[in-house]
């Protein structure tokens, strides 16, 4: 180990840094907290998925050079999806590690580890909000990149029309409960053998206010859980007509400073909870020599000295693809 470069220590190897960044607390946001998306690591940077009777099924990966999967005649179709590659870099400057250049004690090693951990936590947070954005896109049926460009349109892939139900909350006479039942019946019909526990809807603040303030909902909202709505903030969940409505106001900026809302004004998106095989997040391996043909992990981290050892570059990357394998169960809600 060189005394001039403490990062040569095995504690800062690719494997160690990757383990560290995956242990750090994640901040996925609500889509991650709901536990909808089961993680599925894969060995390749693209996946082939079979559609059978309106359901997407992941095909097993093959080693390079082996025969590929053969499509079955009839109603089955094969589709290929590229898994997005999301790299992010940072740098540890010499002044940040001033005074802890030599490994004379465990305390000095720990001090350097703290510097790296601070950087990794900031980098993980950026990957986390990015994954949240991709997962919300999967719940909407259209997965968008950070700049708003389209990565995957599940409705186009399935050749189906997105289901939109206008709740007409600006009209006093609207029967909102009937609208809720319309959402439920559509989702139940579209499950195609899948199971579900409940129906959840993430809605914009404007949509939540219009819903809870509507004439046919207001009384039920005020009486919800023995008048809790009159005492507490109910934006974390209100059940009406068999659907739990939750206000969702996440937004994030891109590298150019443009801030985008994850759910548009006056809109919401309903989906089933408690499914078994409907929502997945596929993780591909990093593009490092040592990770070729290995199962993908959520995030990878690696470090390398800068020219003339004027600092140390940190590189992180994630390769996630969240998908809804039954996009017909997704329902868009409009407030008016």
Is 81 found in the same domain as 55? Answer: yes
Q: Which residues of 140-155 are buried (b: 16+ CB within 10 A; e: fewer)?
A: bbbbbbbeeeeebebb
Is 120 found in the same domain as 99? Answer: yes
CA atoms of 41 and 297, how far apart (whole Å): 6
Tell me if 156 is assigned to some domain. no
Is 19 found in the same domain as 120? Answer: yes
Is 44 found in the same domain as 14? Answer: yes
Task: Tell me what the mean pLDDT of segment 103-120 comes to.
Answer: 72
Is 196 found in the same domain as 86? Answer: no
Asked whether the beta carbons of 331 and 186 are under 8 A apart, the reply is: yes
pLDDT digits (tens, 9 = 90+) for 28-52: 788 988 999 999 999 998 888 777 6
| C-alpha distance across the termini of the chain, in Å | 66
Tell me if 81 is assigned to some domain. yes
The alpha carbon of residue 244 and the mean position of all alpha carbons in its chain are separated, in whole angstroms, by 20
- CATH number (domain holding residue 238): 3.30.1930.10
Q: What ranges in 163-214 are assigned the alpha helix state H? A: 176-190, 205-212
Closest Cα to residue 209, out of 249, 257, 253, 173? Answer: 249
Is 217 found in the same domain as 121? Answer: no
pLDDT value for 231: 45
pLDDT digits (tens, 9 = 90+) for 236-265: 788 999 999 999 999 988 777 788 999 999
CA atoms of 184 and 177, how far apart (whole Å): 11
Is 122 found in the same domain as 32? Answer: yes
Please give the radius of gyration of the chain, using alpha carbons only, rounded to the nearest integer: 24
Judged against a pLDDT cut of 80, whether residue 271 lies above it is answered with yes
- CATH number (domain holding residue 125): 3.15.30.10
Is 44 found in the same domain as 179? Answer: no
Is 146 found in the same domain as 61? Answer: yes
pLDDT digits (tens, 9 = 90+) for 19-29: 989 998 877 78
Is 307 found in the same domain as 173? Answer: no
Is 239 found in the same domain as 300? Answer: no
Write out the residue range of the structural domain in which residue 74 sits. 6-151+279-320
pLDDT value for 73: 42
Closest Cα to residue 294, out of 63, 127, 87, 2? Answer: 63
Number of domains in the chain: 2
């Amino acid at each position: 180990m060189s005394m001039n470069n403490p990062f040569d220590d095995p504690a800062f190897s690719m494997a160690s840094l990757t383990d560290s960044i995956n242990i750090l607390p994640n901040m996925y946001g609500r889509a991650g907290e709901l536990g909808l998306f089961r993680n599925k690591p894969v060995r390749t940077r693209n996946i082939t998925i079979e559609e059978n009777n309106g359901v997407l099924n992941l095909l097993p990966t093959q080693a390079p050079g082996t025969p590929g999967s053969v499509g079955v005649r009839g109603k089955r179709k094969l589709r290929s999806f590229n898994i997005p590659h999301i790299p992010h870099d940072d740098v540890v400057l010499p002044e940040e590690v001033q005074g802890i250049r030599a490994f004379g004690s465990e305390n000095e090693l720990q001090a350097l580890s703290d510097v790296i951990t601070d950087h990794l936590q900031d980098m993980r947070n950026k990957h986390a909000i990015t994954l949240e954005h991709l997962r919300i896109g999967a719940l909407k049926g259209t997965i968008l990149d950070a700049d708003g460009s389209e990565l995957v349109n599940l409705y186009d892939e399935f050749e189906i029309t997105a289901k939109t139900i206008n709740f007409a909350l600006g009209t006093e006479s609207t029967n909102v409960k009937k609208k809720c039942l319309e959402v439920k019946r559509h989702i139940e019909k579209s499950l195609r053998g899948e199971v579900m526990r409940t129906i959840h809807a993430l809605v914009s603040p404007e949509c939540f206010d219009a819903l809870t303030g509507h004439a046919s909902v207001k009384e039920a909202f005020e009486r919800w859980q023995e008048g809790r709505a009159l005492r507490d903030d109910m934006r974390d969940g209100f059940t009406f007509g068999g659907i739990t409505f939750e206000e969702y106001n996440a937004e994030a900026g891109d590298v150019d400073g443009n801030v985008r809302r994850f759910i548009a004004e006056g809109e919401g998106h309903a989906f089933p909870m408690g499914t078994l095989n409907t929502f997945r997040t596929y993780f591909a391996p990093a593009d490092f020599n040592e990770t070729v043909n290995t199962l993908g992990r959520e995030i990878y981290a690696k470090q390398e000295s800068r020219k003339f050892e004027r600092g140390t570059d940190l590189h992180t990357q994630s390769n996630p693809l969240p998908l809804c394998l039954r996009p017909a169960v997704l329902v868009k809600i409009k407030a008016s």
